[in-house]
Structure 1
Amino acid sequence: MHASLRLDNTFKLPEPLKTLAISAANGSLDDLTKLHDLIPDSPQSQLRLFIPVLYANLNFSDISDLRAQLEIDFSVVQLRTSKAILALKGICELQKHLISRAYGEIWSSAWEWIQFLDDCDKQRPGETGASSSELRMLYITVISSLSDDADTLSTMKRTPRIRKYFGKGWVAVVDQLQPSDELFRKLCDFSIQHVNAKDTANLQELINGAGSIPEFASLMVKHIRCAVPHKQHAPSPHDGFALLAVFALLLETDLFHGPLREPLVTNGIVECLTVALHALCGPDMLMTEQLIPMCFGVLYPSISTFPGFPLFKQALDNGLLRALVLCAGRRERILQTALHWFLREPLLEMLVYHSVLSSLRPVFDEAKNLANSPGFRSSEYAREWDNFVTLATERLAVMERYDSGELVAIRACDNVECSAMRKNDELLRCTACRNAFYCSKECQAADWASGHRKLCKNAFNRIHEKCPQLTFRDHDFLRALVHSDYLSRRDNLLAMHIMFLQGDPDAPFFIKFDYRKGSVSMDTGEVPGEMAEYAVRATRSGGRVELHMVVVREGTGRSRAHVIPLRSADGRVLEGLKAMARGDYVAPESPEMRLSSLDLARTH
């Protein structure tokens, strides 16, 4: 036993403090409470003499007897655990004011009590003298406090399962949402220095303490929110250190690129990272050279998770666009890869979704004004930003026309043998896939029997299982966008049809509208195998259905194709295309102009 832990040291205390100390050491909970309350105001000379009293209440030789009492008389256990909890709190309070070589030996007893208290709490939650949450915060307080001593830390590092209890405590701390600054700082210190995410066993202990991978993901997100709760928050150096603790942990573990990423996204990592990024762009924030690239390092793959467009909407709602402009104008040296990626890919690719454009619209003008700053205009991102602004302006204009009801105001009955065209609200909608419309129940029944039965199942699975975030409005806006682009390039498309059909005038064909690089590109080709059912329907329509396939990006490396047919009132356009391909049709004007001028209702 270390000399400073000997109980006879208490005899050096003045009366009546000596009597109080001896009584506390001999088991009086009331006197131990009184001694604990004296710690903040006592001189160091007396604090050293309190150590043996607290240590006496951590005698772990009692634990084996107490385990036997768990099922017999819990009141005996409860009294003893109450004293141990108070002693552990006293040790942590002493550590703030006093350096002692005895802490290493105290740790051995403290560790035994931490494990026993946790076992008791599992069997009798809240009956140990503290709530489950208070106990778990006590674990992390003891671990982080005693780790300040280098010799004790060396012992702690060799303690099996210590990070499991640290994980339990971490959860309890962040669940407070506004934890004490001191405890939160100690937690972050220990995490940065002693939780090695590259050590698989080390990390697994921590995850076990949190409960599971989804609960660990929730822990990481809550931690970030504790550090930066909202966009207007001005982060302190401690907040920056708190972010560093989580960023370092996430970026170093392979789990982030595997089973951890999806639960992180589900728990709101994109939203809280965007809030943090917005706050980090403040002029007085410290450690930005380190923190902002790390924040982007976590945000970059998170926002790319399939499907990406709802996540991008979240990010826009929480200030992403403003943060990107501020970062590009002032910190291009440290963010080159991340900023180029945002400007070249998702900012352009996501402009096909009504939900994303709705989030972009209220922040677009402010971001454009910020981008007019000399710092941004002289950056290497100005040209890419201008490309984004041009495309966004076009798409927002299309959305205005769509929202007003001007664009694609009519829709065709999806019974391909019917030529009826009506306003949207005058048609019946298939209640399963929500994407087929009919002018009557008779047309709906006929279409179901002639092929919609199979297409409906595929559409239902696509919308409701694989991509639940694709709302009807998002899908319907794609229809409007395709129609707008079709109208603006109709002459060119007709010329492409004729060239394609010259090889085989009777060959079924389709047009692909590819939006994966932002601006649309169009191509005509043979109908692919996966569109065979649609091709059969188009053939049955007598030229009233032209197959158009729309390809959009839904996350990095993930694309989705939507079939959005072009409907005509009759088959005159297809007949004219075939005639021109055969060379049978001669007119003074160009064939494209001739077909474009037909007074024919067409809609997607």
Structure 2
Amino acid sequence: MPPQIHESLRLTSLSKLPLSLRASAKSAADGSYADLDTVTCVLPELPKLHRRFILPVLYIHLNPDKIPTSVQLDSILSDTNRHGEFRPITAAIECLTGISGCLNQDAIPHAAYADLWPRLVLPLEYMLFICTNIILGIDKYAPMSSTVRSTLDLRAVLTTYWASILRRDGELTQELDAASPSFPGSTLRDERCTPVLAILADDPIGHLTELTSGAGGSDALAYLLVAQLKDFLARDLTELTSLTLTTVLAIMGSVSVRREEDDAFNRELHSHGIAKVLARTLCALNVWFRRGGDRDRAHDSTIGVSLTLLAEFFRYRAGHEAIAGALDGGLLAFIVSSQTLTADSYPIIKELLGALIPGALLYYPVVCQMKTSYATALPHTTTPTFLKSKIYPMWQKFVPVVKVRLGALEFFHSDRWVSSKVCENTKCFKLAEKPQLKNCAGCDFSYYCSPECQKADWKAGHRDFCAKLAPLVDFPGLVSPRSRAYLRAMLEYNLNEFRPLIMLRQAFFIYTNPDTPFFTAFDFQKLGSGEEWIKIEEMAAYERAPEAPIRLEQLARSGGRLQLHAVIINGNPPLLKMFPMWSTSARMMDGIHRIVKSFPPLLPWTEVYPPIVGQLRELHMECVAHKVRDVYS
């Protein structure tokens, strides 16, 4: 026995036993199972000190080298001539019972625990393995199945067993990987996992506490589900792996969908990369079918559940993170190349392409990933099959908004865009690059070119709402300076692209709603070009927002150099974020008001439209010639 183990586990302790027990203990230590039975039978009657002296016997029979592995156990149980080889396991179980008795009497020195515990794990795992297989064997018989599945805490035990198969990096994983060619480790893993998952998938919501307890917590359960999908992706699809996949998605779908935004389980699934894994799963199924793999209702259901889960994750306020992950996993390529979509899938695809993905393209990580994903998907969109598919009309509406967003991304990365600010002192309005201006320490929102300008603006009214501006800096999902900078660049890009349209719609609003404060909204929930998602709204639609009085006050004292622009993005309700746009000159807004006032009131817009378009075009060219710059704060 190795000298480094604790002294209480060494054979020298046996010499301290009474003579009546010493011989049986030494014989048991030498391998006699009959004497081991004798020792373990009298153990409960022994005093605390004598129990401690018996520990070396128990320690020897818990040696993992003498216990059959789980792979060997399968072979032993299937051959009646080898049942004698099962004896080391029953001996180990007897020793576990003995160890438990010693623990109850505090007969084991605390310093010995570190040496003792590694030998307890494997027998405990095999006991769980044996019990689980008995449960699964009984569950196969229909008359017993309902009784088995209604057993209290059954799913906690099965989840623990499932976790041990997926998580072990030691003996069990090595056994599975080293199994014979006729029973490769991956197949054996499925043979063990699939029946367990079938029971866990039976009403998981009703037994969620058991599943969570057996896994070791909510985050652990999320990890196991994602790990099982990753295991599927690492191997070729078979009927058995497909069944495993179906049951995992059934559990995940029941537990995660239709939850509130702040649900911990969904956040934990996100943290383990579920969106990317689901997208990769869809791509793997697509490849399987294209190679001639069998397709049945279970496979169709798997695709439907995967798409439904992705859509649910995308609908959360932080869904842009899931969308970026799914795009990275190949979701867009799957949509345009899939030959496996069913009628039930099309409404989900329509929502993905028509609202959820386009609405997330104002987030910098999403649009960066879209650049790669779009390029990968594009070759599939020219095939005759795709051009005749039901997806093609959806794709035609999806592409224009993608091109606009990618154009904004290119603008953001180019030398044409410089992160600039305007001094917000209404007597100055100096334009400079952001580092050259100083922001107000009170609100971290307003910028000034000098202390004198900041003092002047403070007296002019900034002190009345400085504290109220601070919370307006933050915006859900735009937590990094780069993300906020990208959104400002995207607004500037769209402003440059659609300036004539914006001017015309502003003129129409001023003509039909004289003396009414307004803001220009970029509704990024919409598809298409600027005509679909640029609109002019009354400030009354925004008046309940906490920043509305501040913005109106700024607008009133800006002398025409401030326009209020806003972005509207996906949410329930939709999210609106105001971006003041400061101009180096009031020439633009003063000119629009002057042109509108030159027409008699109450004329039909059809009469006003032709001449006003030409005058607005001239105004635009005049502002360009005078180098009027617009900057979003």
Q: Indicate the TM-score class for this superposition, using the shorter chain for normalisation.
A: 0.7 to 0.9
In structure 1, which of residues 208, 213, 217 is the aligned counterpart of residue 218 of structure 2? 213
Kept after mapping to 2: 8 A contact 1:313/1:355: yes
State the alpha-carbon separation in 1 of the partners of residues 496 and 36 from structure 2.
88
Q: Pick the aligned partner of 1:522 from 534, 546, 556.
A: 534
CA contact (8 A) 1:351 1:518 kept: no
1:56 Cα deviation from its structure 2 partner: 7.2
**What letter corresponds to residue 73 of structure 1 in structure 2?**
A
Aligned to 1:141: 129
Cα contact 1:507–1:526 (8 A) shared by 2: yes
Number of the residue aligned with 1:570: 585
Is 1:544 matched with 2:561? yes
Quote how far apart the aligned CAs of 1:444 are: 4.4
TM-fit CA distance, 1:197 = 4.8
Q: Closer, same or farther in 2 for the Cα pair 1:533/1:296, shift >3 Å?
A: same
CA distance in 2, matches of 1:588, 1:510: 21
Structure 1 distance, partners of 2:130, 2:247, is: 19
In 1: Cα distance, 2:154 partner to 2:336 partner: 44
Q: Pick from 478, 483, 486: which aligns with 1:477? A: 486
Residue in 2 that maps onto 1:560: 575
Q: Does the aligned pair in 2 maintain the 1:137–1:170 contact within 8 Å?
A: no
Q: List per-residue Cα deviations over 1:545-591 (Å, max 9, x = no partner).
A: 111112122x5x35322222222223233333333444389999944
Name the aligned partner's letter for residue 296 of structure 1: L
**What is aligned with 2:116?**
127
577-586 vs 331-340, which deviates more?
577-586
CA distance in structure 1 between the partners assigned to 2:431 and 2:355 by the alignment:
38
SS of the residue 2:283 aligns to: helix
Q: What is the alpha-carbon distance in structure 1 between the residues aligned to residue 167 and residue 377 of structure 2?
A: 35
CA distance in 2: counterparts of 1:41 and 1:264, whole angstroms? 40
Q: CA deviation at 1:22?
A: 5.2
Greater alpha carbon shift after TM alignment, 445-454 vs 277-286: 445-454
Kept in 1: contact 2:397–2:527 (CA 8 A): no
Match of 2:331 among 288, 302, 320: 320
Change in Cα spacing, 1:367 to 1:46, as seen in structure 2 (3 Å) is same
Q: Trace 1:187-226 onto structure 2 (pairs within 5 A).
A: 187-198=192-203, 202-226=207-231
Aligned to 1:298: 309
* Residue 505 of structure 1: how far off its partner (Å): 4.3
Which residue identity lines up with residue 337 of structure 2 in the other structure?
L
| Residue among 264, 273, 277 paired with 1:268 | 273
Partner secondary structure for residue 418 of structure 1: coil
Q: Tell me if the contact between 1:349 and 1:552 (Cα under 8 Å) persists in the aligned partners.
A: yes
Quick one: distance in 2 between partners of 1:319 and 1:251?
A: 21
User: Residues 511 and 525 of structure 1 are in contact (CA less than 8 Å); yes or no, is this contact kept in structure 2?
Assistant: yes
Aligned residues: 528
The residue aligned with 1:9 is none
TM-aligned CA distance change 1:217 to 1:423, over 3 Å: same
Letter in 2 for 1:406: R
Q: CA deviation at 1:150?
A: 2.8
Change (3 A) 1:59 1:399: closer
Residue 175 (str. 1) matches residue 185 (str. 2): no
C-alpha offsets along residues 461-511 of structure 1, whole Å, 9 cap, x if unaligned? x33xxx255432332232232233333333343333334334664432221
Confirm or deny: 8 A CA contact 1:413 1:421 kept in the other structure: yes
The 1-side partners of 2:198 and 2:613 are apart by: 78
Residues 218-238 of structure 1 deviation map (CA, whole Å, 9 limit, x = unaligned): 222222223225xxx544444
Post-superposition CA distance 1:376-420 (Å, at most 9, x none)? 222111121122223222322232122113146643223444321
1:120 counterpart residue number: none
Distance 1:314 1:429, change over 3 A: farther
Aligned to 1:251: 253
**CA 1:485–1:336: 2 relative to 1, 3 Å:** same
> What is the aligned partner in structure 1 of residue 616 from structure 2?
592
How many Å apart are 1:21 and its aligned residue? 6.8
* Offset, 1:447: 4.8
Distance in 2 separating the partners of 1:43 and 1:588:
91
Q: Following the alignment from structure 1 to structure 2, what is the Cα–Cα distance between the partners of residues 439 and 594?
A: 32
Are residue 241 (structure 1) and residue 227 (structure 2) matched? no
TM-score between both structures, scaled by the size of structure 1: 0.75
Residue 458 (structure 1) aligns with: 471
Report the CA distance between 1:322 and its aligned residue.
1.6
| Residues 455, 476 of structure 1: alpha-carbon distance in 2 compared, 3 angstrom cutoff | farther
Is the 1:515–1:551 Cα contact (8 Å) retained in structure 2? yes
**Contact conserved, 2:439 with 2:445, CA < 8 A, in 1?**
yes
Once residues 354 and 140 of structure 2 are traced to their aligned partners in structure 1, the CA distance between those partners, rounded to angstroms, is 51
Alignment TM-score, normalising by the size of structure 2: 0.72
Report if aligned partners of 1:140, 1:187 keep a CA contact under 8 Å in 2: no
1:162 to 154, 162, 174: 154
Note closer, same or farther for the CA distance 1:507–1:400 as it changes in structure 2 (3 Å cut).
same
Query: CA 1:182–1:445 in 2, change beyond 3 Å: closer, same or farther?
Result: farther
In structure 2, the CA distance between the partners of 1:409 and 1:69, relative to structure 1 (3 Å rule), is closer
Question: In structure 1, which of residues 227, 240, 244 is the aligned counterpart of residue 232 of structure 2?
Answer: 227
1:46-71 deviation per Cα after TM superposition (whole angstroms, max 9, x unaligned): 235566885576569x9599446434
CA distance in structure 2 between the partners assigned to 1:313 and 1:254 by the alignment: 19
Determine the structure 1 residue equivalent to 2:428.
Answer: 418
Counterpart pick for 1:44 among 79, 89, 106: 79
1:199–1:356 distance in 2 versus 1, CA, 3 Å: closer
- RMSD between superposed Cα atoms in Å: 3.9
Q: 1:45 to 1:164 in 2, by over 3 A?
A: closer
Name the SS of the counterpart of 1:351 in structure 2.
coil
Amino acid at match of 2:254: E
Alpha-carbon distance change, 275 to 135 in structure 1, aligned in 2, over 3 angstroms: farther
- Percent identity (aligned): 19
Task: Tell me: CA distance 1:447–1:339, structure 2 relative to 1, closer, same or farther (3 Å).
Answer: same
